A and B are shown apart, each in its own frame.
Chain A
Amino acid sequence: MIGKEEVIHIAKLAELAVSDEELPKLAEQLARIVSFVEELNQAPAGETAPAYLAGPEMTPLRPDLVDPVPLSLSPAEIAPAFVDGFFVVPRLGAMEEA
């Protein structure tokens, strides 16, 4: 069953800020949703099937041609922060990696 601890953990994985105030209600709602989807456990046992694909059974492959979909706005025009040709974000902090 999903509790507050679990919500905090998955919120971190999903990089979503969750305030202390909203946590109890959110945990309760998520618990309700999760217990709802657990109705699947009532499905008759022993019924198995391979993963289902609604569309094509195999991926088409693209010929190796340089043919990008053009952009009508440049990265600079859509970016919230753009300096010297680069997207700019705050320092990485705890995510620091080579």
Chain B
Amino acid sequence: MTWEIVIGLEVHVQLETRSKMFCGCANVFGAPPNTNVCPVCLGLPGALPVPNAQAVKLGTQAALALGSTIHERSVFARKNYFYPDLPKGYQISQFDQPLATGGAVQIESPERGRISISITRLHLEEDAGKSLHDRIPGKTAVDLNRACAPLAEIVSGPDMRSPAEARAYLLALKQILVYTGVSECSMEKGSLRVDANMSIRRPGETRLGTKTEVKNMNSFANVERALEAEFERQVGLVESGKQVQQVTLLFNAAAGTVKPMRSKEESHDYRYFPDPDLPPLVLTAAWIEEQKASLPELPEAKRQRLITSHGLSAYHARELTLEKAMADYFESVVNAKAEPARAVGWVLRDVMAGFNEGRGFPVSAVRLAALIGLVKGGVLSDQAARRVYAEMSTSDESANVIAERLGLVQVGDSDALGQWVDEVLAASPSEVRRYQGGETKLIGFFVGQVMKKSGGKADPKKVQPLLIDRLKGLRGL
């Protein structure tokens, strides 16, 4: 029997503002518990919220980047529930009149190719504090430093049909939000959080099955794993004649399983109503247009431009745009007059390796362009240039100076090359015999040996003809 999976995701992202959503506390993490707090985020009697302009701006930019429609009038509402880390007994969120609705994210589905995942809505809200359950035995410890931090909640349509699509959606969404500069979007750091809704149904069925909600995933990979586990669980239930109950499940990353939370005594009844402390959020069409115009280039547009104006392959364009910083660096290198075809190789290889190790961009784009220019001009071999690059990462010297200092400038004069070639051939009599016996692919071996002997200085383009010439001459002996 086959089943179709239906997945929709609710993603919360922390907006990168200086201060919190509704108060003047710093929007930072890592302070000692309950030190980054004020009357508003402690929910003290008499304190009142005032929304942060920058949070509204970032939320609007995020929504515009997702192609959503921004509503000129939206309303903050109180979502009422009791929880120890929710200081006021309600969360200020948006309900029936959110900041934005509609929009879509394009993804590459492993199963279905290029598809579009719809965005239902994006709204602004405040974060809760943190409850720590294991810190004090039998008790829950509450830290309100995070309370009132600005969040955007982004709700997708139930458009994903596999856990892999869910992961692809999250990657694409993260990429857009990072490009827009609204959020760091790190699941590990908690600046992006995912609640997944899943149901199953027979292929061809149009009604949705009973959905469950899966929480507690801390990486995109774990979202995929959790959804796979939940799919197995739901199929197991239905195929054994049971029904899927509408429950919330927690993912256990160590065990790779999902487990229903202890069922609540009350079904949720959040008693939303407009927050009387906050008049409607009103934005002008002109301001919204301004935000739209100020959006940075988004990943999709950047990929297209890299292909059309720099002649990159689709593969290289995709790899480069995975990280906005990488794509931006590449463009700076090209702007500093490096040949794009050479630059992309450098960026995706040496530069990315360092970046992935957390070393950032130690060599400025201009310096790298100069290095690439030396390779193009035949001054350095590719191999030598990589050594120079490694040196450049830890020094301010130019590529030229380092190459000279290390004696890596390519040697092209035939006397010196001839010397190395003769030495190599003399030292490899058996290879010479095999070459002469018809194994001509051994030419690569000889070239390598010469390069090694020269310490990378020999110009390989000149070494090869010289070798062939000498090997011909040896045959006559």
Contact = CB atoms under 8 A, between A and B. Distances in A.
Given A95-B83, A96-B261, A68 B25 contact: yes
A58 B84 contact: no
Interface in B427-458: none
Interface in A4-42: 9, 12-13, 15
Given A58-B281, A66-B25, A66-B26, A85 B19 contact: no
B344 to A, nearest CB: 38
B51 interface: yes
A68 to B, nearest CB: 4
B242 interface: no
A49 to B, nearest CB: 15
A62 B140 contact: no
Contacts of A71: 37-39, 42
Nearest to A60: B50
A59 B34 contact: no
B377 interface: no
B64 to A, nearest CB: 18
A13 B266 contact: yes
Given A58-B280, A61-B53, A69-B40, A13 B269 contact: yes
B3 interface: no
Given A61-B53, A61-B56, A65-B19, A75 B37 contact: yes
Contacts of A65: 18-19, 24
Given A83-B141, A85-B34, A64 B136 contact: no
Q: Interface on chain B toward A: helix, strand, loop, or mixed SS? A: loop
A84 B76 CA distance: 35
Contacts of A9: 266
Nearest to A75: B34
A78 B271 CA distance: 29
B79 to A, nearest CB: 13
Contacts of B26: 66, 68
A67 B281 contact: no
A53 interface: yes
Given A59-B278, A62-B24, A86-B34, A69 B83 contact: no
Contacts of B133: 91-92, 96
Contacts of A94: 262, 264-265
A45 interface: no
Interface of B: 17-19, 23-26, 32-35, 37-40, 42, 47, 50-56, 76, 82-84, 131-133, 135-136, 138-144, 215-216, 248, 250, 261-262, 264-266, 269, 271, 274, 278-282
23 contacts: A13-B271, A59-B50, A60-B50, A61-B51, A61-B52, A62-B50, A64-B53, A64-B55, A65-B24, A68-B23, A68-B26, A68-B37, A69-B23, A71-B38, A71-B42, A84-B135, A86-B33, A86-B132, A86-B143, A88-B141, A89-B139, A91-B139, A92-B140
